[in-house]
Amino acid sequence: MLTLPEYFKLIHAPYVSFDGVIKELVFRNFDFGIGGLTITYDRYKKLQFSSVLMYEKLGFMFVYQKSFLKKLFTFQLFAINISVTILATLLVFSVSVFLVVRKFDRGVRLRFARVALVFLGSGLEQAFNLQKFTFRRTEITVRVLFMTYWFFAIIINTIFKSQMLALIVSTPTHQITLSEFLEEQYELVIDRSRGSVKLFFEEEEALLSHFSTTYKNNVCDFIVYAASHKAVIFSEVSRIALHSQSFGTNPHAWPFMKDIPFVNQFNIHVRHVISGGLLSSWEQKALLTKNIKRMSSKQTENVVGFEAFILHFAVYLFFLTHSILCFVVELLYNKLREQ
């Protein structure tokens, strides 16, 4: 009923500092984690998407192993339209850099390098603000660099990250209830630290009287216990950090069992955090993937991932094409003037 992709593994790391988690990722040959520790503002500024991402106060790490990263960055896990878009954007960006280095003098190269450093400093978590930069009329090449990098940043935020997350986000065909978990011999675990027993409804109270229960002091202790036992946790922490509303009769139930950190579904808020917070409402629903569907006003299923991708691609391709055309015109003008 519950499956774990082969490229996922659970690391138990309670009460570990941020630096300690990074060391764990390095020495244990893991590249990326979801879960973890408390995020302070200083730590948030140091976070890199390729190293570790933490959400709420969880005591575990959910990581991608290197074999998965290899497939990820060779585009083996993406739809063909996503892979082509990313590769095409990188190609245009590379051509822009090549032309600047080969065709322009030292002054333009320095200007180009300064703009590139500003772009890189802004990171890929948000698109660069056009209003922060002004261009001289003769520096169309710099604008080409700007547009290609901006387009690439948008692609990374709205397609690459969302598509990666969509690999582990899967709405189940059947919403499993707490009763069904217990019928499959899952053990019910109560989180003492949150006083979650007080939050139970009458139905849950009836279940408690018919099934054996175990008490743990916190989620970290529960995860250690769940490594060798099939268990369902009732916890406020699980409600906040994990999308448990679809799987229990109230929003405080979440299933764990050996080698399974959690069911393959994320809360939309976690999705939003991972995407960089830039997805609009229709993009959140579509996740820019053909595997995610939504219901139309007539309650019929329409695949919106491809349509969303085309719309997003067309808008930024227009600006990119405009900049490239200006760049070509400028090259021709300079060549004619030299003759």
Tell me which of 152 and 110 has the higher pLDDT: 110
**Region at 113 (left for phi over 0; alpha for psi -120 to 50; beta for the rest):** alpha
Does an H or E element contain 35, and which? Answer: strand 30-35
Q: According to the model, what pLDDT value does residue 246 have?
A: 30
Q: Helix, strand or coil for residue 219?
A: helix
Contact 21, 13 (CB under 8 A): yes
Mean pLDDT within 5-15 = 43
> 289 pLDDT exceeds 60?
no
Determine how β-strand 60-65 pairs with β-strand 8-12.
antiparallel
Which pLDDT score, from 0 to 100, does residue 187 have? 76
**Apex 189 CA angle, 188 and 194, nearest 5:** 135
| Tokens matching residue 122 | 């802004």
Cβ-Cβ contacts under 8 Å for 290 (sequence gap 6 or more): 79, 303, 305, 306
Round to whole Å and give the CA distance between 82 and 76: 11
Q: Model confidence over 49-76: pLDDT tens digits?
A: 333 333 333 333 344 444 555 565 566 6
Say yes or no to pLDDT of 110 above 70: yes
Give 293-319 pLDDT, tens digit per residue: 333 333 323 333 444 455 555 555 665
Indicate the helix (H) or strand (E) that contains 203. helix 202-210
Alpha helices in 123-201 (DSSP H): 140-155, 161-166, 178-183
Q: How many CB atoms lie within 10 A of CB 175?
A: 12
